[in-house]
Structure 1
Amino acid sequence: MKIIKNMNTTERWLRIYFGAIIFLVYFVNPFPYKEWTFSGLLLIATGVIGYCPVYSLLKKPKTAPTPDSMADR
């Protein structure tokens, strides 16, 4: 099964970056933020894979329309 990527490169890097920050908070202060570890790992996984299932449910377009494609309409 091939997964079609539905995130652009910038969004993927931001997900990996903020997911790593959320994940690393667990090592700094583990007790109250234990549940946040899963959220950080989920962001990292979706950023690495490039596929977000929520976007598929919301039917988000893969990329933003360019000005050239808007002029063709």
Structure 2
Amino acid sequence: MKCNVGGIDRAIRALVGVVLISLVFVGPQTPWGWVGLLPLATAIIGWCPPYTLLGINTCQPRASKEGGKT
């Protein structure tokens, strides 16, 4: 599994996941808040299956360790 979720995308997913999970404990207290586990998991792992299917990649390209030599 290659990383396809970038830094800002990960932060947004983590925030949305935590907010949704918090709905289980405060607010309407419905089990739908557990849906927040999905964006939180993809933020932690750094890989999103739908992104793979759609060919989306929000990761920054990694710099070569050799200083640009090929």
TM range (shorter): 0.7 to 0.9
What is the TM-score normalised by the length of structure 1?
A: 0.71
What stretches of structure 1 of length at least 5 have no aligned partner?
65-73
More helix by share: 1
Residue by residue over 1:7-57, the C-alpha shift from the partner in whole angstroms, topping out at 9 and shown as x without a partner, is 110100110011100100110132xx21231x1011100001000000011
| Aligned with 1:18 (options 16, 20, 28) | 16
Give 5+ residue unaligned stretches, structure 2. Answer: 61-70
Amino acid in the other structure paired with 2:19: I
1:36 equivalent in structure 2: 33
| Count of aligned positions | 59
- 4+ runs of 1 displaced by more than 6 Å? none
**What TM-score do you get using the length of structure 2 for normalisation?**
0.74
Matched-pair contact (CA < 8 Å) for 2:4–2:47: yes
**What residue number does 1:9 align with?**
7
Post-superposition offset of 1:62? 4.1
SS at match of 1:35: helix
Matched with 2:53 is 57
